Amino acid sequence: MISVDLDRASTLHLLRTYLTVPQAFSVVTKRRLTAPYDVTVSPSGVGFHIKILEQVSIEQNLKIRALLWDHAERLAYALKKWALNPKEAYIDLCFDEKNEGRERELNMSMILQPFSAQIQQTRRLLQNGETEKAEEVVHTVAKQIESAVQERRGKQFVGCISFNGDSLREHLEKICGDIAAKDRTFKWRMYPCFFPEFDWMLVVFTNDKDLAWKRISWLKNRTELKAADTRLWVKERIAT
């Protein structure tokens, strides 16, 4: 099996990749794709997985995934495993369950059924190398199926707190680690902050916008963050 991990919640990116699967497979293997390929919403609820039920060599697997915009870090990890052990059998790992979340089927065939003429047109354009014209059609169809795809994906949110100082970062990491050990629904990460006036960004992940705000508000008011210069916000999560 060949699996592709798309780490963005973009319907356009999903459709573009989905329609490119047969061409990418043929370019690498020099044969037509005859096996089916399925789409699921990833366990995080953010991105998508495309699974191609076809057996290929490790080299072909990596090339196909690269052509289909597979997650860059995932590809790099697979390449390292192969470099360290040319006989490595598990270079294509795709989790169907992660952090208590499970994949959910996304029936692209059904969603795209009303647009079969446009899909056939796109495939012909791609085969003829007319990528710009194909992209125009893909953009049009992506807008029309946006609500159907996103409804099945559901929404995920991030609550963010930006702040300064390594000592405060270590203090918050200890607090969040203790909370997560007691509450398995508490998911968090610490990142360098993209705002120039702050060093770090604590991020809490939930599928409920209000809960995201409640959790970062609690952290702001009940920890050393209370006396610190901070910025708080909640937004929809669009990438893993």
- Mean pLDDT for each consecutive 10-residue tract of the chain (240 residues)? 91 95 95 93 86 94 96 92 90 70 87 95 90 94 93 88 97 97 93 96 95 98 96 89
Q: What is the pLDDT of residue 100?
A: 56
Residue ranges of the domains in the chain? 2-153, 157-236
pTM (2 d.p.)? 0.76
Q: What is the pLDDT of residue 98?
A: 58
Q: What is the pLDDT of residue 135?
A: 94
Contact 97, 43 (CB under 8 A): yes
Class of the 157-236 domain? Answer: alpha beta
Q: What is the pLDDT of residue 94?
A: 79
Q: What is the pLDDT of residue 137?
A: 95
Burial (CB < 10 A; 0-12, 13-18, 19+), residue 197, is exposed
Phi-psi region of 162 (alpha: psi -120 to 50; beta: other; left: phi over 0): beta
